[in-house]
Amino acid sequence: MNLKQSLINISLTLATLGFSASALAQAMAEGVVRRIDLDNNKITIRHGEIKALDMPPMTMVFVAKQPAQLKNLAPGDEILFEAFEANGQYSVGKIKKK
C-alpha cells in the first residue's frame, strides 16, 4: 500500500469515528502557566494567538493528556505546549519549559 492510499484510509477511519480535520487540529503555542490542578489533570495557561486553532490570545484551562508533566511546572513558568481541540475540548500534549 502506498502513502497516498494509507492517508486516505486513515482519513476514512477518522471520519467513521466522527472526527473532522478541524477536530484533530493541533498547534504549538507559547504561554505562561497561571494555575495547575493536579487532582483534575488541568492547567490554566495564558497564551498568545494559536492560529491553527483560530484562537486569539487569552487565558484558558486545558486538560493535560500526560498529567505527569504537570508535576514539573509551577505558576509563572513560561512554556511551549502542543494544543489540541477534539469534540469541543481543548487539551495539551507535550509541554516544555522555555
Q: What is the pLDDT along the chain (98 residues), one digit of tens a residue?
A: 566 665 555 554 545 444 444 444 457 899 999 999 999 999 999 999 998 888 999 999 999 989 999 999 999 999 999 998 888 899 999 999 98
Separation between Cα atoms, residue 98 and residue 85, nearest integer Å:
23
Domains in the chain: boundaries: 21-97
What's the CATH architecture for 21-97? Beta Barrel (2.40)
Separation between Cα atoms, residue 94 and residue 78, nearest integer Å:
14
Separation between Cα atoms, residue 55 and residue 27, nearest integer Å:
11
Q: What do you get for the CA distance between the two ends of the chain, in Å?
A: 41
7, three cell numbers: 492517508
For residue 6, the model assigns a pLDDT of 54
For residue 28, the model assigns a pLDDT of 85
For residue 52, the model assigns a pLDDT of 84
